[in-house]
C-alpha cells in the first residue's frame, strides 16, 4: 500500500468516526430506523447520513481500486451530483432527501480534493 493511500484511508476512517459520533449525538440513543418510523428525523441527521454513506463507499473504492480505477471515484461523485439535481428539480422535494444528497455531494467533493492532492494530508 502506498503512503498516500494509507494516509487517505486513515483520514477517511477518522471522518467516518466523527460523522458517526455526530449522528449518535443527534439520535439520543435511538436507532435511525426508529427515528424515521416516528417521523422525528431532521435535515441535519439526513445530511450526516449522506456524508457517512459517501465516506464508507469511497473508503471501500479507494481501498480496492485507487491505483487502478480512479475513474470509479469520479463516477460516484457524478452519480451523487445527479441524484441531488434530480431532487432539486422536483416541484415539492423532500427536505430529508435533499439534505441526504447534499451531504453526499459535499463529502464527495471534499474527498476529491484530498485525492487530487490539493489539500495536504
pLDDT digits (tens, 9 = 90+) for 76-98: 999 999 999 999 999 998 888 99
Residue ranges covered by each domain of the chain:
3-115
Confidence of residue 100 (pLDDT cuts 50, 70, 90): very high
**Of the candidates 80, 79, 61, 76, the residue with the CA atom closest to the CA atom of residue 9:** 61
Ranges of H-type helices in the chain: 3-27, 32-38, 43-65, 70-88, 95-115
CB 67 within 8 A of CB 5: yes
Residue 96: other Cβ atoms inside 10 A = 18
Q: For 46-79, what is each residue's pLDDT tens digit?
A: 999 999 999 999 999 888 876 666 688 889 999 9
Position 54 scores a pLDDT of 97
DSSP for residue 121: -
pTM, two decimal places: 0.85
More confident call, 83 vs 3? 83
Is residue 102's pLDDT more than 90? yes
Crossing angle of helices 3-27/43-65, nearest 10°?
A: 160
Question: Cα-atom radius of gyration of the chain, to the nearest Å?
Answer: 15
Amino acid at each position: 500500500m502506498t503512503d498516500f493511500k494509507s494516509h487517505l484511508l486513515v483520514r477517511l476512517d477518522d471522518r467516518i468516526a466523527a460523522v458517526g459520533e455526530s449522528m449518535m449525538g443527534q439520535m439520543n440513543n435511538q436507532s435511525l430506523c426508529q427515528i424515521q418510523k416516528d417521523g422525528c428525523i431532521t435535515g441535519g441527521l439526513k445530511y450526516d447520513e449522506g456524508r457517512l454513506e459517501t465516506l464508507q463507499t469511497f473508503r471501500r473504492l479507494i481501498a480496492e481500486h485507487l491505483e487502478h480505477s480512479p475513474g470509479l471515484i469520479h463516477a460516484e461523485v457524478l452519480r451523487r451530483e445527479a441524484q441531488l439535481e434530480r431532487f432539486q428539480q422536483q416541484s415539492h422535494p423532500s427536505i430529508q432527501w435533499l439534505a441526504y444528497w447534499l451531504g453526499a455531494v459535499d463529502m464527495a467533493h471534499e474527498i476529491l480534493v484530498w485525492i487530487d492532492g490539493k489539500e495536504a494530508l
